[in-house]
Structure 1
Protein backbone atom coordinates (compact mmCIF):
# COMPACT_ATOMS: atom_id res chain seq x y z
CA UNK A 1 0.00 0.00 0.00
CA UNK A 2 1.14 3.57 -0.67
CA UNK A 3 1.80 6.13 1.98
CA UNK A 4 -1.39 7.40 3.59
CA UNK A 5 -2.25 10.97 2.66
CA UNK A 6 -2.01 13.27 5.65
CA UNK A 7 -2.47 16.71 4.11
CA UNK A 8 0.28 19.16 3.29
CA UNK A 9 0.71 20.71 6.71
CA UNK A 10 3.16 18.04 7.85
CA UNK A 11 5.47 18.90 4.94
CA UNK A 12 5.68 22.65 5.39
CA UNK A 13 9.06 23.89 6.63
CA UNK A 14 9.24 25.65 9.98
CA UNK A 15 9.97 29.32 9.48
CA UNK A 16 11.52 30.78 6.37
CA UNK A 17 9.88 32.47 3.44
CA UNK A 18 9.09 31.65 -0.16
CA UNK A 19 12.49 30.13 -0.87
CA UNK A 20 12.12 27.60 1.95
CA UNK A 21 8.57 26.75 0.87
CA UNK A 22 9.64 26.30 -2.74
CA UNK A 23 12.45 23.99 -1.72
CA UNK A 24 10.13 21.87 0.43
CA UNK A 25 7.10 21.57 -1.85
CA UNK A 26 8.44 18.82 -4.11
CA UNK A 27 8.70 16.55 -1.09
CA UNK A 28 5.01 16.91 -0.26
CA UNK A 29 3.11 13.64 0.04
CA UNK A 30 -0.04 15.15 1.53
CA UNK A 31 -2.24 13.60 -1.17
CA UNK A 32 -1.70 11.05 -3.91
CA UNK A 33 -1.29 13.45 -6.84
CA UNK A 34 2.50 13.50 -6.50
CA UNK A 35 2.71 9.90 -7.74
CA UNK A 36 1.88 10.69 -11.36
CA UNK A 37 2.99 14.31 -11.68
CA UNK A 38 6.44 15.20 -12.97
CA UNK A 39 7.04 17.62 -10.11
CA UNK A 40 5.31 20.01 -7.76
CA UNK A 41 4.75 23.45 -9.26
CA UNK A 42 5.15 26.26 -6.76
CA UNK A 43 4.20 29.90 -7.20
CA UNK A 44 6.31 32.55 -8.90
CA UNK A 45 6.66 36.24 -8.25
CA UNK A 46 8.01 38.67 -5.69
CA UNK A 47 7.45 38.57 -1.94
CA UNK A 48 5.55 41.72 -1.12
CA UNK A 49 3.51 41.59 -4.33
CA UNK A 50 0.28 43.57 -4.06
CA UNK A 51 -1.67 40.88 -5.91
CA UNK A 52 -1.58 37.11 -5.47
CA UNK A 53 -3.34 35.29 -8.30
CA UNK A 54 -4.31 31.66 -7.66
CA UNK A 55 -5.55 29.21 -10.27
CA UNK A 56 -6.67 25.63 -9.92
CA UNK A 57 -3.63 23.43 -10.63
CA UNK A 58 -0.68 23.17 -13.02
CA UNK A 59 -1.46 22.03 -16.55
CA UNK A 60 0.61 19.84 -18.82
CA UNK A 61 3.07 22.60 -19.78
CA UNK A 62 3.41 23.77 -16.17
CA UNK A 63 4.02 20.22 -14.93
CA UNK A 64 6.82 19.73 -17.44
CA UNK A 65 8.43 23.14 -16.93
CA UNK A 66 7.90 23.51 -13.19
CA UNK A 67 6.41 27.01 -13.35
CA UNK A 68 2.81 28.30 -13.06
CA UNK A 69 0.78 29.68 -15.97
CA UNK A 70 3.32 29.10 -18.73
CA UNK A 71 0.96 27.24 -21.11
CA UNK A 72 -1.93 28.47 -23.28
CA UNK A 73 -3.98 29.67 -20.29
CA UNK A 74 -0.93 31.55 -19.06
CA UNK A 75 -0.74 33.45 -22.34
CA UNK A 76 -4.38 34.46 -21.96
CA UNK A 77 -3.63 35.60 -18.41
CA UNK A 78 -0.63 37.62 -19.59
CA UNK A 79 -2.76 39.36 -22.21
CA UNK A 80 -5.59 40.01 -19.72
CA UNK A 81 -3.24 41.44 -17.10
CA UNK A 82 -1.63 43.70 -19.70
CA UNK A 83 -5.04 44.90 -20.90
CA UNK A 84 -6.06 45.59 -17.29
CA UNK A 85 -2.88 47.58 -16.61
CA UNK A 86 -1.36 45.05 -14.20
CA UNK A 87 2.33 44.15 -14.74
CA UNK A 88 2.61 40.37 -14.38
CA UNK A 89 6.13 40.59 -13.00
CA UNK A 90 4.74 42.61 -10.08
CA UNK A 91 2.16 39.94 -9.20
CA UNK A 92 2.61 36.59 -7.48
CA UNK A 93 1.04 33.74 -9.47
CA UNK A 94 0.30 30.29 -8.08
CA UNK A 95 -2.25 27.45 -7.92
CA UNK A 96 -4.28 26.06 -5.03
CA UNK A 97 -3.16 22.51 -5.95
CA UNK A 98 0.53 22.04 -6.64
CA UNK A 99 0.54 18.79 -8.67
CA UNK A 100 -1.00 18.13 -12.09
CA UNK A 101 -4.02 15.79 -12.01
CA UNK A 102 -4.71 14.14 -15.33
CA UNK A 103 -5.89 11.13 -17.25
CA UNK A 104 -4.53 9.89 -20.57
CA UNK A 105 -6.31 9.75 -23.90
CA UNK A 106 -7.13 6.44 -25.58
CA UNK A 107 -3.68 6.25 -27.17
CA UNK A 108 -1.96 7.12 -23.94
CA UNK A 109 -0.02 9.89 -25.65
CA UNK A 110 -1.84 12.99 -24.37
CA UNK A 111 -2.45 14.00 -20.78
CA UNK A 112 -5.94 15.41 -20.20
CA UNK A 113 -6.70 17.68 -17.25
CA UNK A 114 -8.90 16.34 -14.46
CA UNK A 115 -10.43 18.61 -11.82
CA UNK A 116 -8.95 18.04 -8.34
CA UNK A 117 -11.32 16.61 -5.76
CA UNK A 118 -12.39 18.61 -2.74
CA UNK A 119 -10.24 16.30 -0.60
CA UNK A 120 -7.16 17.06 -2.71
CA UNK A 121 -7.85 20.79 -2.62
CA UNK A 122 -8.21 20.76 1.17
CA UNK A 123 -5.06 18.64 1.56
CA UNK A 124 -3.04 21.18 -0.46
CA UNK A 125 -4.52 24.32 1.10
CA UNK A 126 -1.70 24.78 3.69
CA UNK A 127 0.72 25.59 0.85
CA UNK A 128 -1.52 28.41 -0.38
CA UNK A 129 -2.01 29.71 3.16
CA UNK A 130 1.77 29.74 3.60
CA UNK A 131 2.23 31.60 0.30
CA UNK A 132 -0.34 34.22 1.29
CA UNK A 133 1.41 34.69 4.63
CA UNK A 134 4.86 34.95 2.99
CA UNK A 135 3.79 37.30 0.17
CA UNK A 136 1.42 39.49 2.20
CA UNK A 137 -0.77 40.62 -0.72
CA UNK A 138 -3.45 43.27 -0.56
CA UNK A 139 -5.72 41.15 -2.78
CA UNK A 140 -5.97 37.43 -3.54
CA UNK A 141 -7.43 36.91 -7.02
CA UNK A 142 -9.07 33.50 -7.45
CA UNK A 143 -8.98 32.35 -11.06
CA UNK A 144 -11.83 29.89 -11.56
CA UNK A 145 -14.30 27.96 -9.46
CA UNK A 146 -11.85 25.52 -7.86
CA UNK A 147 -9.62 28.30 -6.57
CA UNK A 148 -12.58 30.39 -5.44
CA UNK A 149 -14.15 27.50 -3.52
CA UNK A 150 -10.78 26.66 -1.95
CA UNK A 151 -10.46 30.20 -0.59
CA UNK A 152 -14.07 31.29 -0.07
CA UNK A 153 -15.77 27.99 0.75
CA UNK A 154 -17.47 25.19 -1.21
CA UNK A 155 -20.74 27.10 -1.52
CA UNK A 156 -19.17 30.02 -3.39
CA UNK A 157 -20.34 30.60 -6.98
CA UNK A 158 -18.14 32.60 -9.33
CA UNK A 159 -21.11 33.20 -11.64
CA UNK A 160 -22.89 35.13 -8.86
CA UNK A 161 -20.00 36.92 -7.17
CA UNK A 162 -17.30 37.50 -9.82
CA UNK A 163 -15.59 40.86 -9.92
CA UNK A 164 -16.46 41.85 -6.34
CA UNK A 165 -13.99 42.54 -3.53
CA UNK A 166 -14.77 40.27 -0.58
CA UNK A 167 -13.05 39.66 2.77
CA UNK A 168 -10.74 36.67 3.12
CA UNK A 169 -12.53 34.27 5.50
CA UNK A 170 -10.97 33.93 8.97
CA UNK A 171 -8.36 36.60 8.22
CA UNK A 172 -7.67 39.45 10.66
CA UNK A 173 -9.15 42.85 9.93
CA UNK A 174 -6.06 43.95 8.03
CA UNK A 175 -5.95 40.75 5.97
CA UNK A 176 -6.20 40.73 2.17
CA UNK A 177 -9.37 41.10 0.19
CA UNK A 178 -10.43 38.43 -2.30
CA UNK A 179 -11.70 38.82 -5.84
CA UNK A 180 -12.99 35.87 -7.86
CA UNK A 181 -13.14 35.65 -11.63
CA UNK A 182 -13.04 32.94 -14.29
CA UNK A 183 -9.99 30.86 -15.08
CA UNK A 184 -8.19 32.02 -18.25
CA UNK A 185 -8.65 28.54 -19.72
CA UNK A 186 -12.40 29.19 -19.83
CA UNK A 187 -11.73 31.90 -22.41
CA UNK A 188 -9.98 29.32 -24.59
CA UNK A 189 -12.92 26.94 -24.20
CA UNK A 190 -15.45 29.59 -25.19
CA UNK A 191 -17.28 29.43 -28.48
CA UNK A 192 -15.10 31.33 -30.99
CA UNK A 193 -17.84 33.89 -31.50
CA UNK A 194 -17.99 34.54 -27.75
CA UNK A 195 -14.27 34.42 -27.02
CA UNK A 196 -13.66 38.16 -27.29
CA UNK A 197 -16.52 38.92 -24.93
CA UNK A 198 -15.25 36.31 -22.46
CA UNK A 199 -11.76 37.83 -22.57
CA UNK A 200 -13.11 41.35 -22.11
CA UNK A 201 -15.14 40.21 -19.09
CA UNK A 202 -12.00 38.73 -17.51
CA UNK A 203 -10.14 42.00 -18.13
CA UNK A 204 -13.00 43.98 -16.59
CA UNK A 205 -12.79 41.86 -13.41
CA UNK A 206 -9.03 42.33 -13.20
CA UNK A 207 -9.38 46.09 -13.58
CA UNK A 208 -11.12 46.13 -10.20
CA UNK A 209 -7.72 45.37 -8.59
CA UNK A 210 -5.48 47.30 -11.00
CA UNK A 211 -3.12 49.88 -9.48
Structure 2
Protein backbone atom coordinates (compact mmCIF):
# COMPACT_ATOMS: atom_id res chain seq x y z
CA UNK A 1 0.00 0.00 0.00
CA UNK A 2 1.29 3.43 -0.84
CA UNK A 3 1.76 5.86 2.01
CA UNK A 4 -0.43 8.87 2.49
CA UNK A 5 -1.23 11.32 5.22
CA UNK A 6 -3.04 10.27 8.36
CA UNK A 7 -4.83 13.60 8.36
CA UNK A 8 -7.68 14.89 6.22
CA UNK A 9 -7.44 14.36 2.48
CA UNK A 10 -5.02 16.65 0.79
CA UNK A 11 -2.85 17.36 3.85
CA UNK A 12 0.09 15.66 2.10
CA UNK A 13 2.22 15.08 5.18
CA UNK A 14 3.55 11.75 3.88
CA UNK A 15 3.13 10.01 7.25
CA UNK A 16 4.35 6.41 7.41
CA UNK A 17 1.73 3.69 7.16
CA UNK A 18 1.94 2.78 10.84
CA UNK A 19 0.96 6.38 11.67
CA UNK A 20 -2.46 6.07 10.05
CA UNK A 21 -5.30 6.90 12.41
CA UNK A 22 -8.92 7.95 12.26
CA UNK A 23 -8.41 10.31 15.20
CA UNK A 24 -8.31 13.56 13.15
CA UNK A 25 -11.67 12.72 11.58
CA UNK A 26 -13.62 12.33 14.81
CA UNK A 27 -15.97 15.21 15.61
CA UNK A 28 -15.11 17.43 18.53
CA UNK A 29 -16.87 17.31 21.87
CA UNK A 30 -18.96 14.35 22.95
CA UNK A 31 -20.84 13.65 19.74
CA UNK A 32 -23.67 11.15 19.72
CA UNK A 33 -24.03 8.32 17.23
CA UNK A 34 -25.57 10.49 14.45
CA UNK A 35 -22.63 12.90 14.63
CA UNK A 36 -20.12 10.07 14.71
CA UNK A 37 -21.77 8.35 11.76
CA UNK A 38 -21.76 11.54 9.71
CA UNK A 39 -18.10 12.20 10.48
CA UNK A 40 -17.09 8.60 9.78
CA UNK A 41 -18.53 8.89 6.26
CA UNK A 42 -15.59 11.16 5.42
CA UNK A 43 -12.88 9.16 7.19
CA UNK A 44 -9.60 8.86 5.30
CA UNK A 45 -7.59 7.60 8.24
CA UNK A 46 -6.21 4.54 6.45
CA UNK A 47 -5.95 3.34 2.84
CA UNK A 48 -9.00 1.06 2.97
CA UNK A 49 -11.32 3.93 2.07
CA UNK A 50 -9.81 4.11 -1.42
CA UNK A 51 -11.41 0.95 -2.77
CA UNK A 52 -14.46 0.58 -0.53
CA UNK A 53 -17.78 2.00 -1.67
CA UNK A 54 -18.48 3.75 1.63
CA UNK A 55 -17.85 3.76 5.36
CA UNK A 56 -20.08 1.20 7.10
CA UNK A 57 -20.72 2.54 10.59
CA UNK A 58 -22.47 0.71 13.41
CA UNK A 59 -26.25 0.49 13.68
CA UNK A 60 -28.93 -0.48 16.15
CA UNK A 61 -30.14 0.53 19.57
CA UNK A 62 -28.14 3.50 20.85
CA UNK A 63 -28.77 2.34 24.43
CA UNK A 64 -28.27 -1.38 23.85
CA UNK A 65 -27.20 -3.59 26.72
CA UNK A 66 -25.42 -5.87 24.22
CA UNK A 67 -22.95 -4.59 21.64
CA UNK A 68 -21.91 -7.07 18.94
CA UNK A 69 -18.49 -6.50 17.39
CA UNK A 70 -17.51 -8.08 14.10
CA UNK A 71 -14.40 -7.82 11.96
CA UNK A 72 -15.27 -5.62 8.98
CA UNK A 73 -18.08 -5.05 6.47
CA UNK A 74 -18.57 -7.64 3.76
CA UNK A 75 -19.57 -7.20 0.14
CA UNK A 76 -23.28 -6.65 0.83
CA UNK A 77 -22.58 -4.37 3.78
CA UNK A 78 -20.29 -2.24 1.61
CA UNK A 79 -22.99 -1.95 -1.04
CA UNK A 80 -25.86 -1.21 1.36
CA UNK A 81 -24.01 0.83 3.98
CA UNK A 82 -25.20 -1.15 7.03
CA UNK A 83 -23.43 -3.82 9.08
CA UNK A 84 -24.49 -7.48 9.10
CA UNK A 85 -27.01 -7.32 6.26
CA UNK A 86 -25.45 -10.18 4.29
CA UNK A 87 -25.68 -13.96 4.82
CA UNK A 88 -23.66 -13.85 8.06
CA UNK A 89 -26.03 -11.20 9.40
CA UNK A 90 -29.00 -13.46 8.82
CA UNK A 91 -27.26 -16.22 10.78
CA UNK A 92 -26.50 -13.77 13.61
CA UNK A 93 -30.07 -12.47 13.82
CA UNK A 94 -31.48 -16.00 14.02
CA UNK A 95 -28.90 -17.04 16.63
CA UNK A 96 -29.61 -13.99 18.80
CA UNK A 97 -33.32 -14.65 18.74
CA UNK A 98 -32.81 -18.32 19.60
CA UNK A 99 -30.44 -17.39 22.44
CA UNK A 100 -33.02 -15.08 24.00
CA UNK A 101 -31.52 -11.73 22.94
CA UNK A 102 -33.83 -9.42 20.99
CA UNK A 103 -31.84 -8.40 17.87
CA UNK A 104 -33.64 -5.03 17.94
CA UNK A 105 -32.18 -4.36 21.38
CA UNK A 106 -28.57 -4.75 20.25
CA UNK A 107 -26.01 -2.47 18.62
CA UNK A 108 -23.88 -4.04 15.89
CA UNK A 109 -20.63 -2.70 14.51
CA UNK A 110 -17.25 -3.76 13.17
CA UNK A 111 -13.69 -3.21 14.29
CA UNK A 112 -12.88 -1.84 10.81
CA UNK A 113 -15.39 0.34 9.01
CA UNK A 114 -14.31 -0.16 5.38
CA UNK A 115 -14.49 -3.35 3.28
CA UNK A 116 -11.06 -4.82 2.55
CA UNK A 117 -11.05 -7.13 -0.43
CA UNK A 118 -9.30 -8.40 -3.52
CA UNK A 119 -10.88 -8.90 -6.93
CA UNK A 120 -10.45 -12.40 -8.34
CA UNK A 121 -10.98 -12.37 -12.15
CA UNK A 122 -11.20 -16.15 -12.39
CA UNK A 123 -14.16 -16.00 -10.01
CA UNK A 124 -16.12 -13.58 -12.12
CA UNK A 125 -14.36 -10.52 -10.67
CA UNK A 126 -15.96 -11.19 -7.31
CA UNK A 127 -14.73 -9.08 -4.41
CA UNK A 128 -13.20 -11.55 -1.96
CA UNK A 129 -12.81 -10.60 1.71
CA UNK A 130 -9.31 -10.03 3.07
CA UNK A 131 -8.69 -9.81 6.81
CA UNK A 132 -7.62 -6.36 8.05
CA UNK A 133 -4.12 -6.13 9.48
CA UNK A 134 -3.07 -4.70 12.83
CA UNK A 135 -2.29 -1.22 11.43
CA UNK A 136 -5.75 -0.99 9.88
CA UNK A 137 -7.47 -2.16 13.05
CA UNK A 138 -5.45 0.28 15.14
CA UNK A 139 -6.22 3.15 12.75
CA UNK A 140 -9.95 2.48 13.05
CA UNK A 141 -9.99 1.97 16.83
CA UNK A 142 -10.98 5.59 17.66
CA UNK A 143 -14.37 5.01 16.01
CA UNK A 144 -14.96 1.88 18.09
CA UNK A 145 -13.89 3.65 21.26
CA UNK A 146 -16.35 6.44 20.52
CA UNK A 147 -19.18 3.97 19.87
CA UNK A 148 -18.48 2.18 23.15
CA UNK A 149 -18.53 5.50 25.00
CA UNK A 150 -21.92 6.46 23.59
CA UNK A 151 -23.69 3.09 23.73
CA UNK A 152 -22.11 2.07 27.05
CA UNK A 153 -23.26 -1.57 26.83
CA UNK A 154 -23.28 -4.04 29.69
CA UNK A 155 -21.64 -6.73 27.57
CA UNK A 156 -19.60 -6.70 24.38
CA UNK A 157 -19.80 -9.84 22.25
CA UNK A 158 -16.74 -10.17 20.02
CA UNK A 159 -17.45 -12.21 16.92
CA UNK A 160 -14.29 -13.96 15.83
CA UNK A 161 -10.55 -13.62 16.25
CA UNK A 162 -10.04 -10.30 14.48
CA UNK A 163 -12.70 -8.52 16.54
CA UNK A 164 -11.23 -9.99 19.73
CA UNK A 165 -7.74 -8.82 18.87
CA UNK A 166 -8.99 -5.35 17.97
CA UNK A 167 -10.61 -5.04 21.38
CA UNK A 168 -8.39 -7.11 23.68
CA UNK A 169 -4.98 -7.15 22.00
CA UNK A 170 -2.92 -9.42 19.80
CA UNK A 171 -2.68 -12.19 22.41
CA UNK A 172 -6.41 -12.90 22.17
CA UNK A 173 -7.31 -16.38 20.91
CA UNK A 174 -10.97 -17.09 20.23
CA UNK A 175 -10.35 -20.84 20.41
CA UNK A 176 -9.06 -20.46 23.98
CA UNK A 177 -11.37 -17.74 25.29
CA UNK A 178 -14.73 -18.25 23.60
CA UNK A 179 -17.72 -18.61 25.88
CA UNK A 180 -15.91 -16.90 28.77
CA UNK A 181 -16.98 -13.62 30.37
CA UNK A 182 -13.84 -11.48 30.42
CA UNK A 183 -13.25 -8.11 32.12
CA UNK A 184 -12.71 -5.15 29.82
CA UNK A 185 -10.08 -2.54 30.74
CA UNK A 186 -11.39 -2.07 34.27
CA UNK A 187 -14.69 -0.72 32.95
CA UNK A 188 -18.18 -1.92 33.79
CA UNK A 189 -18.58 -3.96 30.62
CA UNK A 190 -17.80 -7.62 30.26
CA UNK A 191 -16.57 -9.20 27.04
CA UNK A 192 -17.79 -12.50 25.66
CA UNK A 193 -15.98 -14.12 22.76
CA UNK A 194 -17.55 -16.41 20.19
CA UNK A 195 -17.11 -17.32 16.54
CA UNK A 196 -18.07 -15.00 13.72
CA UNK A 197 -21.37 -16.07 12.13
CA UNK A 198 -19.59 -16.37 8.79
CA UNK A 199 -17.67 -19.29 10.33
CA UNK A 200 -20.99 -21.12 10.56
CA UNK A 201 -21.46 -20.71 6.82
CA UNK A 202 -17.96 -22.06 6.12
CA UNK A 203 -18.14 -24.97 8.56
CA UNK A 204 -18.28 -28.58 7.38
CA UNK A 205 -20.87 -29.22 10.10
CA UNK A 206 -22.97 -26.07 9.98
CA UNK A 207 -25.49 -27.33 12.51
CA UNK A 208 -22.85 -27.96 15.16
CA UNK A 209 -21.16 -24.62 14.50
CA UNK A 210 -24.49 -22.81 14.71
CA UNK A 211 -25.41 -24.52 17.98
CA UNK A 212 -22.05 -23.47 19.40
CA UNK A 213 -22.74 -19.85 18.46
CA UNK A 214 -26.19 -19.98 20.06
CA UNK A 215 -24.74 -21.59 23.19
CA UNK A 216 -22.21 -18.76 23.58
CA UNK A 217 -24.87 -16.11 23.04
CA UNK A 218 -27.01 -17.69 25.74
CA UNK A 219 -24.18 -16.92 28.18
CA UNK A 220 -24.51 -13.25 27.21
CA UNK A 221 -28.29 -13.45 27.60
CA UNK A 222 -27.92 -14.86 31.13
CA UNK A 223 -25.33 -12.24 32.01
CA UNK A 224 -27.74 -9.38 31.33
CA UNK A 225 -30.66 -11.20 32.98
TM range (shorter): over 0.9
- Segments of structure 2 that go 5 or more residues without pairing to the other structure are 7-19
- Segments of structure 1 that go 5 or more residues without pairing to the other structure are none
Instruction: Detail structure 1 runs of 4+ shifted over 6 Å in the superposition.
Output: none
Aligned to 2:129: 113
- Please state if 1:123 is matched with 2:139: yes
- Residues 20-72 of structure 1 show CA distances to partners (whole Å, capped at 9, x for unaligned) of 00000011111100000000000001111000000000000000000000000
Deviation at 1:3, TM superposition (A): 3.2
**Structure 2: distance between partners of 1:7 and 1:102:** 20
Aligned to 1:35: 50
**Structure 2: distance between partners of 1:166 and 1:111:** 35
Deviation at 1:128, TM superposition (A): 0.5
Greater RCO, 1 or 2 (C-alpha within 8 Å, sep 6+): 1
**Structure 1: distance between partners of 2:55 and 2:133:** 17
- Please state if 1:181 is matched with 2:220: no
Judged with a 3 Å threshold, the aligned counterparts in structure 2 of structure 1 residues 154 and 2 are, in CA distance, closer, same or farther, namely closer
Question: What does residue range 67-82 of structure 1 map to in structure 2 within 5 Å?
Answer: 67-82=82-97
**Structure 2: distance between partners of 1:81 and 1:46:** 15
- Please state if 1:11 is matched with 2:25: yes
Judged with a 3 Å threshold, the aligned counterparts in structure 2 of structure 1 residues 202 and 22 are, in CA distance, closer, same or farther, namely same
Superposed CA RMSD in Å reads 1.2
**Structure 2: distance between partners of 1:164 and 1:186:** 19
